[in-house]
Amino acid sequence: MKFDTPATTNPIDQMKIVGKPTNRIEGPLKTTGTAPYAYERHDVAANQAYGYVVGSAIAKGRIASMNLDAARAAPGVIAIVTADNAGKLAKGDFNTAKLLGGPDIEHYHQAIALVVADSFEQARAAASLVRVEYAREKGAFDLAAAIDTAIKPKASFGTEPDTAVGNFAAAFAAAPVQLDARYTTPDHSHAMMEPHATIAAWEGDKLTVWTSNQMIAWSVGDMAKTLGIPKENIRFDSPYIGGGFGGKLFNRADVLLAALGAKAAKRPVKVALPRPLMINNTTHRPATIQRVRLGATADGKLTAIGHESWSGDLPGGGPETAVAQTRLLYAGENRMTAMRLAVLDLPEGNAMRAPGEAPGLMALEIAVDELAEKLGMDPIALRVLNDTQVDPEKPSRPFSQRQLNKCLETGAAKFGWSKRAKPGATRDGRWLVGMGVAAAFRNNLNGPSAARVRLAKSGVVTVETDMTDIGTGTYTIVAQTAAEMMGVPLDKVVVKLGDSAFPVSAGSGGQWGANSSTAGVYAACVKLREAVVQKLGLASDAVFADGKVKAGRRSVALGDAATDGELVAEDKMEYGDLAEKFQQSTFGAHFVEVGVDAMTGEVRVRRMLAVCAAGRILNPKAARSQVIGAMTMGAGAALMEELAVDKRFGFFVNHDLAGYEVPVHADIPHQDVIFLDEADPTTSPMKAKGVGELGICGVAAAVANAVYNATGVRVRNYPITLDKLLGKLPDMV
Residue 530 lies near another protein (rule: CB under 8 A)? no
333 counts as catalytic: no
Q: Which residue among the candidates 365, 484, 678, 693 is catalytic per the annotation?
A: 693
Give bridge partners of residue 290 from the DSSP assignment. Answer: 183, 309
Query: Which residue's CB is nearer to another protein, number 39 or number 218?
Result: 39
Query: Which residue's CB is nearer to another protein, number 80 or number 526?
Result: 80
Question: What whole-number distance in Å separates Cα of residue 683 and Cα of residue 689?
Answer: 7
Query: Which residue's CB is nearer to another protein, number 49 or number 611?
Result: 49
- Residues 474 and 573 sit within 8 Å (Cβ to Cβ): no
Question: What whole-number distance in Å separates Cα of residue 130 and Cα of residue 117?
Answer: 14
Question: What whole-number distance in Å separates Cα of residue 708 and Cα of residue 694?
Answer: 23
Residue 138 lies near another protein (rule: CB under 8 A)? no
Residue 430 lies near another protein (rule: CB under 8 A)? yes
DSSP string for 192-261: -SSPPEEEEEEETTEEEEEE--S-HHHHHHHHHHHHTS-GGGEEEE----S--TTTTSS--HHHHHHHHH
CA angle centred on 725, ends 432 and 601, rounded to 5°: 50
Query: Which residue's CB is nearer to another protein, number 136 or number 301?
Result: 136
Residue 276 lies near another protein (rule: CB under 8 A)? yes
Residue 413 lies near another protein (rule: CB under 8 A)? no
CB 303 to another protein: min, Å: 40
Residue 648 lies near another protein (rule: CB under 8 A)? yes
Residue 428 lies near another protein (rule: CB under 8 A)? no
Contact with another protein (CB under 8 A): which of 1, 29, 44, 57? 57
CB 474 to another protein: min, Å: 30
DSSP annotation of 164 reads: E
Residue 666 lies near another protein (rule: CB under 8 A)? yes
CB 57 to another protein: min, Å: 4
Contact with another protein (CB under 8 A): which of 8, 46, 658, 677? 658
Contact with another protein (CB under 8 A): which of 77, 453, 594, 645? 645
CB 156 to another protein: min, Å: 31
CB 644 to another protein: min, Å: 4
Q: HEC states along 686-719?
A: CCECCCCCHHHCCHHHHHHHHHHHHHCCCCCECC
> Between residue 599 and residue 638, which ones bind another protein under the rule CB under 8 A?
599-602, 604
CA angle centred on 382, ends 377 and 383, rounded to 5°: 150
Question: What whole-number distance in Å separates Cα of residue 198 and Cα of residue 270?
Answer: 6
Question: What whole-number distance in Å separates Cα of residue 587 and Cα of residue 582?
Answer: 15
Residue 178 lies near another protein (rule: CB under 8 A)? no
Residue 471 φ/ψ region, left for φ over 0, alpha for ψ in the -120 to 50 degree band, beta for the rest: left
Contact with another protein (CB under 8 A): which of 124, 231, 397, 550? 124
> Between residue 703 and residue 732, which ones bind another protein under the rule CB under 8 A?
719, 721-723, 726-727, 729
The residue among 6, 1, 2 whose CA lies nearest residue 581 is: 6
The residue among 88, 82, 55 whose CA lies nearest residue 68 is: 82
- Residues 142 and 645 sit within 8 Å (Cβ to Cβ): yes
Query: Which residue's CB is nearer to another protein, number 182 or number 648?
Result: 648
Reduce the DSSP state of residue 417 to 3 states and report it: helix
Residue 640 lies near another protein (rule: CB under 8 A)? yes
CA-CA-CA-CA torsion for 179, 164, 586, 182, nearest 10 degrees? -30
CB 101 to another protein: min, Å: 14
Q: Helices (H) and strands (E) in the chain — how many of each?
A: 16, 30
Query: Which residue's CB is nearer to another protein, number 72 or number 581?
Result: 72
CB 657 to another protein: min, Å: 10
Residue 733 lies near another protein (rule: CB under 8 A)? yes
Contact with another protein (CB under 8 A): which of 84, 646, 674, 714? 646
Query: Which residue's CB is nearer to another protein, number 508 or number 632?
Result: 632
Contact with another protein (CB under 8 A): which of 152, 664, 670, 728? 664
Distance set, CA 331 to CA 215, 301, 355, 689 (Å): 36, 9, 23, 23
Query: Which residue's CB is nearer to another protein, number 124 or number 714?
Result: 124
Residue 661 lies near another protein (rule: CB under 8 A)? yes
Name the phi and psi angles at 570, rounded to 5: -140, 140
Distance set, CA 309 to CA 185, 289, 364, 593 (Å): 10, 6, 11, 28
Question: What whole-number distance in Å separates Cα of residue 318 and Cα of residue 109?
Answer: 20
CB 370 to another protein: min, Å: 24
Distance set, CA 364 to CA 130, 323, 383 (Å): 48, 9, 12
Query: Which residue's CB is nearer to another protein, number 134 or number 218?
Result: 134
Residue 143 lies near another protein (rule: CB under 8 A)? no
Stretch that binds another protein, among 212-220, 444-452, 653-661, 682-690 (CB under 8 A): 653-661
Contact with another protein (CB under 8 A): which of 384, 649, 676, 714? 649
CB 593 to another protein: min, Å: 15
Q: In the chain, how long is the greatest CA-to-CA distance?
A: 83
Contact with another protein (CB under 8 A): which of 453, 639, 691, 694? 639
Query: Which residue's CB is nearer to another protein, number 116 or number 408?
Result: 116
Contact with another protein (CB under 8 A): which of 5, 67, 128, 458? 128
CB 276 to another protein: min, Å: 7
CB 52 to another protein: min, Å: 11
**How many residues bind another protein, per CB under 8 A?**
43
Contact with another protein (CB under 8 A): which of 427, 576, 659, 670? 659
Stretch that binds another protein, among 136-144, 526-534, 658-666, 690-698 (CB under 8 A): 658-666
Residue 84 lies near another protein (rule: CB under 8 A)? no
- Residues 616 and 679 sit within 8 Å (Cβ to Cβ): yes
Residue 261 lies near another protein (rule: CB under 8 A)? no
DSSP string for 557-617: EGGGGGTTS-EEEEEEEEE-SHHHHSB-EEEEEEEEEEEEETTT--EEEEEEEEEEE-BB-
Residue 655 lies near another protein (rule: CB under 8 A)? yes
Distance set, CA 719 to CA 108, 359, 703 (Å): 24, 12, 10
Distance set, CA 534 to CA 280, 393, 545, 679, 730 (Å): 57, 49, 17, 31, 77
Residue 376 lies near another protein (rule: CB under 8 A)? no
The residue among 701, 631, 706, 617 whose CA lies nearest residue 672 is: 631
Residue 54 lies near another protein (rule: CB under 8 A)? no
Query: Which residue's CB is nearer to another protein, number 233 or number 721?
Result: 721
Contact with another protein (CB under 8 A): which of 121, 203, 530, 580? 121
Q: For residue 96, how far is the Cα from the chain centroid?
A: 18
Residue 73 lies near another protein (rule: CB under 8 A)? no
| Contact residues for another protein, defined by CB under 8 A | 57-58, 75, 121, 124-125, 128, 276, 430, 597-602, 604, 639-640, 644-646, 648-649, 653-656, 658-659, 661, 663-667, 719, 721-723, 726-727, 729, 733
Question: Active-site positions?
Answer: 693
